[in-house]
């Protein structure tokens, strides 16, 4: 018999979403007539819009012809990489600094191979779980010790610090995961804050993995959509991005990672060359059909559709946020992000989760599942059909009204 990879045994059991699914199943079994609505997950719900969908279909059709057939393309279609550089980064990167992927999450997992198990890892707390779980899998983080994994530095993002962490605790030569717009808090870092982040990375000899998967939800023109808008970012950051939440490609699978040639290891070797090696070794490139869809998404018509789709989810987010605020629940996010982060002071996240399931038949996500600083918070996701979101908001409003004066008064 083979030994189990010891790192797998370090992963905490009862991962957030399976636990939520279990509680939902149990509740549905006891309440078969309840019409449960989920505001809990980040999966998209709306159809892919016509110009982008046509690109996908045409990509599939082309594969049935001699002229249109294509096979492997490890680092991605040249035209797609060039288009991404032009549209997202004002042409500041050459095509060989942009790697097309099957999604941001997959690349975040693979990126750890570049740094091995000895690198100190820093995350925002709360954070998207894959940064932490990927670190555990590669052995860069050890066993669960009470409120976090051994070897990971958690930087608390709280109401008090405006959801931007104290960076003085960043260790030397660390890998810093930073997500903006943030999942789960919905907070978006300002340019000044990203400047601070870049300075902290430069001073500590660290590297930032900047996750910009929700950049297309930013509506405030003053907010940066990429770490490369900040001077010095090119010297200390790589960036992952995705078509999932902008074009509705959660199931199609397409993303990209920018690895500037300026990035070097301590030994002087280029990180870009190693990433090319990793991609060629364990990933044979994104689907060519998905890439045809990606190209269509980056035409003027496709970009208008990205705007239309993200506007739709932002409309949902505004409905949820306004409902919560009217009920006296303090929350952030939902304006430049599809997530709303709601605060229920002094309450246990799972207890609030159960209360909303029981009284409103709503599935949400307990904030504590994203890290210790998420305790007392609930994440509401705006991914859903409009009519369903409206019904969820009606239930929330009715519940909090029934508590006579909203959440705050009833829980003093």
Residues that bind ligand PLP (CB under 6 A): 42, 103-106, 128, 179, 183, 211, 213, 242, 244, 250, 255
Please give the radius of gyration of the chain, using alpha carbons only, rounded to the nearest integer: 22
Query: Quick one: 38 or 242, whose CB is closer to ligand PLP?
Result: 242
Least Å distance, CB 213 to ligand PLP, is: 4
Q: Using alpha carbons, select from 319, 263, 254 the residue that is nearest to residue 99.
A: 254
Rounded to the nearest 10 degrees, the angle between the axes of helix 288-297 and helix 300-326 is: 80
270 CB-side CA count, 13 A: 11
Least Å distance, CB 331 to ligand PLP, is: 18
Query: Quick one: 55 or 126, whose CB is closer to ligand PLP?
Result: 126
Q: Looking at beta carbons, which residue is closest to ligand PLP? A: 103
Q: Using alpha carbons, select from 50, 43, 55 the residue that is nearest to residue 83.
A: 55
Tokens of 225: 């959509």
Query: Quick one: 242 or 288, whose CB is closer to ligand PLP?
Result: 242
- Do residues 328 and 411 touch, judged by C-beta distance below 8 A? no
Neighbours of 395 (CB within 10 A): 18
Sign of CA pseudo-dihedral 75, 309, 36, 358: positive
Least Å distance, CB 127 to ligand PLP, is: 8
Query: Quick one: 115 or 128, whose CB is closer to ligand PLP?
Result: 128
Least Å distance, CB 253 to ligand PLP, is: 7
Query: Torsion-angle region of residue 205: left (phi > 0), alpha (psi -120 to 50) or beta?
Result: left
Tokens of 38: 């989920």
Query: Quick one: 233 or 294, whose CB is closer to ligand PLP?
Result: 294
- Do residues 163 and 109 touch, judged by C-beta distance below 8 A? no
Query: Quick one: 211 or 305, whose CB is closer to ligand PLP?
Result: 211
Q: Using alpha carbons, select from 124, 265, 239 the residue that is nearest to residue 182.
A: 124
Least Å distance, CB 10 to ligand PLP, is: 22
CA distance 157 to 81: 34
- Do residues 310 and 335 touch, judged by C-beta distance below 8 A? no
Least Å distance, CB 105 to ligand PLP, is: 3
Query: Quick one: 83 or 379, whose CB is closer to ligand PLP?
Result: 379
Sign of CA pseudo-dihedral 227, 335, 301, 43: positive
Least Å distance, CB 250 to ligand PLP, is: 5
Least Å distance, CB 238 to ligand PLP, is: 14
Query: Quick one: 131 or 353, whose CB is closer to ligand PLP?
Result: 131
Count helices and strands in the chain by DSSP H and E runs: 15, 15
Q: Sheet containing 377-381: which strands, arranged edge to edge?
A: 330-333, 339-343, 377-381, 365-366
- Do residues 73 and 291 touch, judged by C-beta distance below 8 A? yes
Least Å distance, CB 176 to ligand PLP, is: 15
Q: What is the dihedral of CA 61, 64, 66, 68, to 10 degrees?
A: 30
Least Å distance, CB 16 to ligand PLP, is: 12
Query: Quick one: 186 or 260, whose CB is closer to ligand PLP?
Result: 186
Query: Quick one: 103 or 233, whose CB is closer to ligand PLP?
Result: 103
């Amino acid at each position: 018999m083979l030994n189990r990879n010891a790192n797998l045994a370090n992963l905490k059991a009862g991962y957030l979403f399976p636990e939520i699914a279990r509680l939902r199943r149990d509740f549905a079994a006891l309440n078969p007539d309840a019409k449960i609505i989920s505001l809990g997950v980040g999966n998209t719900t709306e159809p892919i819009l016509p110009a982008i969908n046509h690109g996908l279909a045409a990509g599939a059709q082309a594969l049935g012809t001699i002229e249109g057939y294509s096979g492997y393309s490890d680092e991605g279609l040249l035209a797609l990489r060039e288009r991404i550089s032009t549209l997202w980064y004002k042409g500041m990167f050459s095509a060989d600094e942009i790697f097309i992927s099957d999604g941001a999450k997959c690349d975040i997992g693979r990126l750890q191979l570049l740094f091995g198990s000895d690198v100190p890892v820093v995350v925002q707390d709360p954070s998207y779980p894959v940064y932490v779980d990927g670190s555990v899998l590669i052995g860069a983080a050890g066993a669960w010790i009470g409120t976090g994994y051994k070897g990971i530095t958690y930087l608390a993002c709280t109401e008090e610090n405006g959801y931007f962490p104290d960076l003085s605790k960043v260790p030397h030569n660390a890998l810093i995961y930073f997500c903006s717009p943030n999942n789960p808090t919905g907070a978006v870092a300002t340019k000044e804050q990203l400047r601070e982040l870049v300075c902290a990375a430069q001073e500590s000899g660290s590297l930032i993995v900047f996750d910009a998967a929700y950049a297309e939800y930013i509506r405030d023109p003053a907010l940066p959509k990429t770490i490369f808008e900040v001077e010095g970012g090119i010297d200390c950051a790589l960036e992952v991005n995705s078509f999932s939440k902008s074009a509705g490609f959660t199931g199609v699978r397409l993303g990209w990672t920018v690895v500037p040639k300026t990035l070097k290891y301590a030994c002087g070797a280029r990180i870009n060359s190693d990433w090319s090696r990793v991609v060629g070794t364990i990933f044979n490139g994104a689907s060519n059909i998905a890439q045809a869809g990606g190209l269509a998404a980056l035409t003027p018509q496709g970009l208008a559709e990205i705007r239309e789709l993200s506007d739709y989810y932002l409309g949902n987010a505004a409905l949820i946020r306004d409902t919560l605020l009217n009920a006296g629940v303090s929350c952030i996010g939902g304006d430049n992000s599809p997530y709303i982060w709601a605060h229920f002071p002094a309450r246990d996240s799972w207890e609030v989760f159960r209360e909303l399931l029981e009284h409103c038949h709503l599935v949400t996500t307990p904030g504590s599942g994203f890290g210790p600083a998420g305790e007392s918070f609930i994440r509401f996701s705006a991914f859903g059909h409009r009519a369903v979101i409206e019904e969820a908001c009606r239930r929330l409003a009715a519940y909090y009204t029934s508590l006579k004066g909203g959440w705050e008064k009833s829980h003093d």
